[in-house]
Structure 1
């Protein structure tokens, strides 16, 4: 029962994140999910490439980004994605050493 509740909560959170993130479907067989050739069992969750969180369900498998897509930024700034932190950092176009607010 607790596992069912955990899966439902996870799926609800992932659905909420769909509004703000990018998702992709992962290849699914009857017994496992394959992401980049790596098998994952049904019910498992894992961290995929490029800041994706993945879930292998009974019917489908999905991976969604853990970060908000390109944010709205002022014209004098630019967004650069930091893969280490899994988020965009906003820098001044005139001086890339200065973060925009």
Structure 2
């Protein structure tokens, strides 16, 4: 898993002297993980941080809408009147 600390959307995670805590789960220092919201996380010696792995969608045409797919951590752009049809 690549960890990019330059992401636009990052959150700090609770850190104790020996571990990081996120959503009631303990991670040891040096651990990296991906959470259910598509954030890559790192528990460092000094700080703990989670940054988004996805990019916000580009400008969406008026007849379309962006829908976030948590399974693949990306946005898909669908027609508003029919979510079975992807917009270009």
TM-score interval, smaller chain: 0.7 to 0.9
Cα distance between partner residues in 1 of 2:57 and 2:15: 29
Shift of 1:70: 4.0
Shift of 1:92: 0.8
Cα-to-partner distance string for 1:39-77 (whole Å, 9 max, x where unaligned):
111111011121111001111101111111243211111
Q: What are structure 2's unaligned runs of at least 5 residues?
A: none
The size of the alignment, in residue pairs, is 87
How well do the aligned residues superpose, as a CA RMSD in angstroms? 1.6
Shift of 1:83: 1.0
Cα distance between partner residues in 1 of 2:57 and 2:5: 18
Aligned to 1:38: 25
Q: What are structure 1's unaligned runs of at least 5 residues?
A: 1-8
* Alignment equivalent of 1:83, drawn from 65, 70, 73: 70
TM-score by length of 1: 0.77
Higher RCO (C-alpha under 8 Å, 6+ residues apart): 2
Q: Does the alignment pair 1:47 with 2:34?
A: yes
TM-score by length of 2: 0.87
Higher strand share: 2
Higher helix share: 1
